[in-house]
Amino acid sequence: MKKWILSHKKSAVAVACVLAALIIALGIFFYQKNSASASHTADAAASTEQKEIDAWGEVKYTHMEDISIDFPSTVTDVLVKEGDRVTLGQPLITLDISEYNGNIKKLKQQLAANQAALPTATQDVS
């Protein structure tokens, strides 16, 4: 075999080049096939992702606001506890506004009395 290779150097080099090219082509083919199946797997995983993130930590605030109510009321119930999750628009406390409603009722009565007295007051001026 050694004698044959030495006597046919050009043919042996050509066969070696063809074999090397074939090995490289097969390597590229299998590499692309494996990377394509990996991308399909990634697509499937991406489609099952959730649109929310669960995280634990501590919320640090930079600005604190006092809640002030300009009408008489009493807090009757606190609906959340420290550490509870809250959302925008979620009720946090329950107020008893019966005193406020009493004030509104008195003011409506005064308004009705003043409106009833208005015609007599305009007659006295004329």
Under a CB-based contact definition with an 8 Å cutoff, are residues 94 and 77 in contact?
yes
pLDDT tens, position by position, 13-22: 888 888 989 8
For residue range 71-110, what is the model confidence (pLDDT) as tens digits? Answer: 888 889 989 888 788 888 889 889 999 999 999 999 999 9
* pLDDT tens per residue across span 107-124: 999 999 999 988 887 776
pTM of the model: 0.38
Domain coordinates of the chain in residue numbers? 74-118
d(CA 37, CA 34): 5
- H helices of the chain, in order, are 2-7, 9-47, 98-125
What the block records as the tokens of 16 is 């070696």
* Predicted pLDDT at 109: 96
Degrees to nearest 5, angle at CA 17 with 7 and 21: 160
**Phi and psi angles of residue 97, each rounded to the nearest 5 degrees, phi first:** -110, 30
